[in-house]
Amino acid sequence: MYSVKAGLKQLAQHDRIVPKPGRLIAVIAIFLLVMTASVYALLPGEVDGEVMPSLAPMLEKVTPAVVNVATEGRIQIRQNPLLNDPFFKRFFNIPDQPIERKTQSLGTGVIIDAKRGLVVTNNHVIANAHQITVNLRDGRKFQAELIGTDPETDVAVIKIPAKNLTAIKLADSDKLRVGDFVVAIGNPFGLGQTVTSGIVSALGRTGLGIEGYEDFIQTDASINPGNSGGALVNLRGELVGINTAIFSQSGGNVGIGFAIPINMVTMVTEQLVEHGQVHRGLIGAQTQDLDPELADAFGIEQRSGAVVVDIAPGSPAEKAGLIPGDVIIEVNGKKVKGSSDVRTRIGLLRVGEKVDFTVIRDNKKVKLTAIVADSEEVASTTKLKNPRLAGATFGDIPENAPAYGRIKGVVLFEVERGSPLWQAGLREGDIITSVNQIKVDDLSTFLQIVNTAGEGRMLFRVRRGNQAAYIVIR
Positions annotated as catalytic residues are 124, 154, 228
Distance CA 199, CA 220 (A): 6
Cα separations (Å) of 269 from 44, 99, 118, 193? 46, 34, 10, 24
| Three-state secondary structure readout of the chain | CCCHHHHHHHHHHHHCCCCCHHHHHHHHHHHHHHHHHHHHHCCCCEECCEECCCCHHHHHHHHHHEEEEEEEEEEECCCCHHHHCHHHHHHHCCCCCCCEEEEEEEEEEEEEECCCCEEEEEHHHHCCEEEEEEECCCCCEEECEEEEEECCCCEEEEECCCCCCCCCCECCHHHCCCCCEEEEEECHHHCCCEEEEEEEEEEEECCCCCCCCCCEEEECCCCCCCCCCCEEEECCCCEEEEEEEECCCCCCCCCCEEEEEHHHHHHHHHHHHHHCCCCCEECCEEEEECCHHHHHHHCCCCCCCEEEEEECCCCHHHHHCCCCCCEEEEECCEECCCHHHHHHHHHCCCCCCEEEEEEEECCEEEEEEEECEEHHHHHHCCCCCCHHHCCEEEEECCCCCCCCCCCCCEEEEEECCCCHHHHHCCCCCCEEEEECCEECCCHHHHHHHHHCCCCCCEEEEEEECCEEEEEEEC
Distance CA 32, CA 285 (A): 66
C-alpha angle 139/222/169, rounded to 5°?
A: 55
Q: Is 466 exposed, middle or buried (0-12, 13-18, 19+ CB in 10 A)?
A: exposed
Phi, psi angle pair for 75, to nearest 5°: -130, 150
